[in-house]
Structure 1
Amino acid sequence: MLVGLPKEIKDNEYRVGLTPGAVKMLVARGHRVLVETGAGEGSFIPDQEYRSVGAQIVEHAHDAWAAQLVVKVKEPLSAEYPYLRKDMLLFTYLHLASNEPLTKALLTSGVTAIAYETVQTHSGQLPLLMPMSEVAGRMSTQVGAAILQRPQGGRGVLMGGVPGVAPADVTILGGGTVGANAARIAIGMGAQVTILDVSHHRLAYFDDLYNGRIQTRKSNPSTIEEAVCQADLVIGAVLIPGGKAPWLVTRPMLSSMRKGTVIVDVAVDQGGCVETTKPTTHSQPTYEIDGIVHYCVANMPGAVPRTSTFALVNQTTDYVLLLADQGVDALVNNPELQSGLNIYRGQVAHPGVATAFGLAYTSPEQVF
């Protein structure tokens, strides 16, 4: 199969969809790989490393997009919509439930689009979302700590405090992979951490893990409002696989929060769990509403591309090999890949996407 690796064009997105190691495996199985020149430079992977394992370096994006299987990191932007076509398999992060224009473009093109974030194992794990959730969770605390500094618009609070002065109060909404990693870094920095989740089992896990060093609260509107109103840093870490995140922090709550409080909404890719969330970029990462500083960068792990690229490709490679070897049949034969199918030749094949936009849903079993 002809496999294409385009260079990412999203603002300050330096990750790349395949490493030379992954390309080497594809080539060894008889596949031809087209790599757009410079695709790996943001992750400090020069063209020569791809060339040395058998890839063909192409000068233009349209050459890489001409492949049968296109592997990316982030969703296609509007400038890339013309490359989409019916005989293409697209494998990347999509986050369609918060992106109606892209959903329509994919449907119109007839492309088969498989989303990293909805590939799911039999046990319910999201193996291709997990590595970036780990990165984003750890980054959310680091970023929040930086923005809490007064020159960045924050309350001027040091995460760990100093003797005689209280540490920062960090509230984490959601105890999944993002929340767990955010908590790990926040506790390591000496902050006072409160984590909210709807699962008692998950809260008990954190209580046991940190032996009382973390406060756990059952998540409901009252406890959320109480926690965010006493927080210096709020981290939104809620996930509805394939669907739009619920608004846990509403606009009226902002007026009761401390001025200079920082919100880092990691759920921004799925619409955000804060009502006032709107996507930002690494170039312009923050904005302020009612004195509350919002950081809502939709590709946070792109700021640490070397770590992120290798962490992601470690997980995606086996699925890429299946798609290259079997084509569309891989979606029939592999239930995990099938769960990642979002769009198939003009049909919505994921219930979360269909619900988000009131579109007809066709199950993967029906489309094949």
Structure 2
Amino acid sequence: MMDWTDRHCRAFHRALTSKALLYTEMVTAPAVIHGDHERLLGFDALEHPVALQLGGSDPAQLAEAARIGAAFGYDEINLNVGCPSDRVQSGRFGACLMREPSLVGECMAAIREAVSVPATVKCRIGVDDQDPAVSLFETVDASAAAGVSVFIIHARKAWLQGLSPKENRDVPPLDYALVRRLKRERPHLSISINGGIASLDEAEAHLDAADGAQLDGVMLGRAAYHEPAILGQADRRLYGADSADVDPFLALDRYRPYLAARLAEGVHLPAMTRHMLGLMHGRAGARAYRRILTVEGVRPGAGLEVVDRAVEAVREAELQAAQRAAERTVAA
């Protein structure tokens, strides 16, 4: 989700769900230590709860980066042991760490000692020719021995040679059963599942304990990004909240003060509206909504009036669709 789940995206998603834990893009430990902290780590208080996702393989660097992140107010420090990009391979972090479970354990021990907030691991089930039934358990057990109790498992291998990062999201087969086996055999650990989950219906199915493995959570990535409206039902359906769902129009009303504040700071409108393009997916007027945001939003000085026009295009299209439906009913 690099270049996707930036602070503007997270603020937008928080307008749809108050309960879901949000994650940053992966930031490397050296970047955190030596880079511009506000640019890399800054976030709005409305994003809570939010986790900082780190990349790296040097325990001392990760500990220092974790301390900086905790001082910024992040609610969780997460180590990425799943990203398969060429960049992370050359830097000996991400999915390639599945080959070095003891090092993952050392990294997590250092992070845990450095911060008081939860330290968690997001990993694959293995890489390349590894036996996932071995590599997954070894990685989890090494971190659990360091005191880590929360794991998010992308239920696919990563093929570091021969597949692109995009192909690694789709080509390796999913093995949900192995993740459920991990939960059954390590019931004291919190195990969340990730990978190929495209709807809240599927998320609810994964949380079903029919086979005796009560998974503790579901991570949604691209499904939530491309069709963010599904997050408007998450609080009720996944968290049992006694509250009405958040529809896209209400979400934009909630997001509006954030948009206005950032525009006043000089942030360009497209930096924020690019995360909103899928919000009206499946609704009448969705194409016009996207066109207005992408075409008019890039013009110099574009502001909230562009968002208002995009929303009005959907409302008008839905009204026209409802009128046509009523006319067909009368004619019948």
- Report the TM-score when normalising by structure 1: 0.25
Which structure shows the bigger proportion of residues in strand conformation?
A: 1
- Report the TM-score when normalising by structure 2: 0.27
> Larger relative contact order (C-alpha < 8 A, sep ≥ 6)?
1
